[in-house]
Amino acid sequence: MTVSTDDSDFEISGDSLSDTPVDDSDCDVNKCLLEILKADSSLKSKAKRNEWTWKAQTDVVKWQATPLRAPLLRLPAALAPAALECFTCVRAYCGDLQPAERAVHQDLTEVKCVYTVLMHCHAVPELRDEVYCQLMKQTTSNRSPAQDSCQRAWRLMSILASYFTCSDTLRPFLVEYLSAAAADRRRPCQGTAAVCLANFRKTLRCGGRKNVPSVEEVTAVSAGRSARRQLYRLPGGAERVVNTRCATVVQDIVNELCELIGVTSEAERAEFSLYCIVAGDALTMPLAGDEYVLDVTTELQRAHHPFYLIFCRSVWHHPLRADAPPLYTEVLFNQVAPDYLEGLLLVLPGGGAPPAGVLRDAALVAALLHRAAGLPDAPHPRDLKFLLPKPLLALREPRPAKWASWVSAEWPTVRTITPAAAKSKVLQVLSRWALFGSSFFAVRRVGGGEWREHVLALNRRGVHLLHPATHETDTHWPYGELISTRKVRSEDGTLFLDVKCGSLLQQRVTRLQAEQAHEVARLIRQYIALQRDSRDTRDSRDHDHRHSPGN
């Protein structure tokens, strides 16, 4: 029987009828596949229709102990052997092979059964519906003498649902089947069915796994160990182990680590990312939120590339939080301190010393950094090279003796606070600086017929093109003036970013040469989205206030 749609065709093969006796009192029938049968309009003749019985069709969608003689669905003839092999693996995994079959298939271990099914579904997407139907069949009216046959079929379904979605045609029937099983407390497999439903919904949302899982992963999931202890780094070298499942996506990890550092709002969590740092690769990009973590790690491990995953803040739109736990301060401090000591946050007008207020801040931060390291004694003048930004140390004025004097003057107050409080104070002081919270990129812009070096700084105030030595702003584009960005790659592989800004009446395009053009464009889009959401929230709040009683 066949149901046809624009995208795919389904057929329940008449040759697949089970030889298993039917219990007329059995009401545990696969309603989803029966709905497909009811919708069928392809019976060739009225005579054939008269031969059709519900008893025969209900047998098709119930558990059977014997092999299939043909796939459940109408498939190209070339796919039939793989479909039948999948059903053999399903039955072997569930312990339903007959003694003679077990002798023939002695090599079908649990891991090989799972791996074979996943490999076939990965290589041939058309087989995914077939395997889902096979598993719905084997979890319906299961009368197997193997005690845990039904439970194991549900477990295999939960594994499949973690990796693959199905066609649009099968989806409503499969979701209905899983939902009914997950909601029925009378079923001993209700809990596993609920896991199947959750996994399948995650797969629908994120698209399913892109890469074939490793043998180690399949071994773990087939043994019921669905979570792997994956190491994630935080800025500063701290590490956290998070249980990572085969269906875990990057956003799940970001959410869990945000929870760990006390960031609970969805809007603020959007400012944090998970990066994959690969040895020897100078350019890094945050992983997409819907990317499967084990897809990333498996591919790198197969290629024998050393790597690590690091969680950090990539956008700085929300202000610093004073009520956050110490780990929040630790993460942000270890992100900001290296940029500060490198001099990226400093502006040196005309190449000279910054204003007096900045110098006072730098002296205070030097003392705070010394205390943040847990050192109880006053910093020695020779320690200043580790406590002051490099550009300040290179200035002719102030002299080193003056710096030592200023830092010593700050020490009596600073020495009384804890290292954690010192780190928090560093963030508070530096947050007043114009370039605090910036992401920095080396770019080149054409001007006067030649390419000029710039530092591009992205922060909540907009896009800034800075002089590479002084960090004075050469060009500033508020996000409200940005119209679009476009990435362009030349014939020799050089990557450019075209930035269009202005108004509807007057527009101009600036071309930047930037190796990290993709990341620059992504961050610009993220800042624009955050500002738009913030503005919409503020407008909504103002509207509610104006129309509240008493106003």
pLDDT for res 185: 87
Q: Is residue 545 part of a domain?
A: no
- The CA distance from 394 to 390, in Å, is 6
Q: Is residue 276 part of a domain?
A: yes
Q: What is the dihedral of CA 87, 90, 93, 97, to 10 degrees?
A: -40
Same domain, residue pair 415 and 490: no
- Identity at 290, one-letter amino acid code: D
- The CA distance from 531 to 458, in Å, is 14
Q: Is residue 322 part of a domain?
A: no
Same domain, residue pair 384 and 448: no
Same domain, residue pair 57 and 137: yes
Q: Is residue 454 part of a domain?
A: yes
- pTM (two decimals): 0.80
Same domain, residue pair 138 and 61: yes
Same domain, residue pair 443 and 418: no
Same domain, residue pair 495 and 508: yes
Can you count the helices (H) and strands (E) in the chain?
Answer: 20, 13
- The CA distance from 430 to 181, in Å, is 56
Boundary residue ending a domain (430, 448, 468): 430
Q: What range does the domain containing 505 cover?
A: 439-538
Same domain, residue pair 36 and 155: yes
- Identity at 180, one-letter amino acid code: A
CATH code, domain with 304: 3.10.20.90
| CB of 496 closer than 8 Å to CB of 451 | no
The gap from C-alpha 380 to its chain's centroid, in whole angstroms, comes to 46
Same domain, residue pair 422 and 522: no
- Identity at 332, one-letter amino acid code: L
Q: Is residue 543 part of a domain?
A: no
Q: Is residue 144 part of a domain?
A: yes
- The CA distance from 45 to 13, in Å, is 17
- What contacts 358, CB < 8 A, 6 or more positions away? 346, 347, 433
Boundary residue ending a domain (398, 430, 462): 430
| CB of 297 closer than 8 Å to CB of 364 | no
Q: Is residue 318 part of a domain?
A: no
pLDDT for res 18: 35
- Give how far Cα 66 sits from Cα of 58, 88, 108, 144, Å: 16, 9, 17, 11
- The CA distance from 514 to 536, in Å, is 32
Q: Give the tokens for residue 288.
A: 């997409």
Residue 400: left (phi > 0), alpha (psi -120 to 50), or beta? Answer: alpha
Return per-residue pLDDT of the chain as tens, 551 residues: 333 333 333 333 434 433 333 333 334 435 555 554 444 334 334 444 445 555 656 667 889 989 999 999 999 999 999 999 999 999 999 999 988 887 788 888 888 999 999 999 999 999 999 999 999 999 998 999 998 899 999 999 999 998 999 999 999 999 999 999 999 888 888 999 999 999 999 999 999 888 878 888 888 877 777 778 899 999 988 899 999 988 899 999 999 999 999 999 998 999 999 999 998 776 678 899 999 999 999 888 888 889 999 999 999 999 998 888 899 999 999 999 999 999 999 999 999 999 999 999 999 999 999 999 999 999 999 999 999 999 999 999 999 999 999 999 999 999 999 999 999 999 999 999 999 999 999 999 977 678 899 999 999 999 999 999 999 999 999 999 999 999 999 999 899 999 999 887 888 999 999 999 999 999 999 999 888 877 766 656 655 556 566 55
- Give how far Cα 466 sits from Cα of 102, 229, 480, 514, Å: 72, 43, 20, 14
**Smallest Cα–Cα separation from 520: which of 315, 251, 346, 288?**
315
CATH code, domain with 395: 1.20.80
| CB of 320 closer than 8 Å to CB of 328 | no
How many domains does the chain fold into?
4
pLDDT for res 304: 87
Q: Give the tokens for residue 494.
A: 């050089």
pLDDT for res 541: 63
Same domain, residue pair 14 and 158: yes
Same domain, residue pair 421 and 496: no
Same domain, residue pair 279 and 241: yes
Boundary residue ending a domain (313, 345, 371): 313
Tokens 């103002």 label which residue?
A: 542
| CB of 366 closer than 8 Å to CB of 387 | yes
- The CA distance from 360 to 362, in Å, is 5
CATH code, domain with 451: 2.30.29.30
- The CA distance from 358 to 355, in Å, is 5
- The CA distance from 336 to 334, in Å, is 6
Same domain, residue pair 450 and 515: yes
Looking at residue 396, the DSSP 8-state letter turns out to be: S
Q: Is residue 549 part of a domain?
A: no
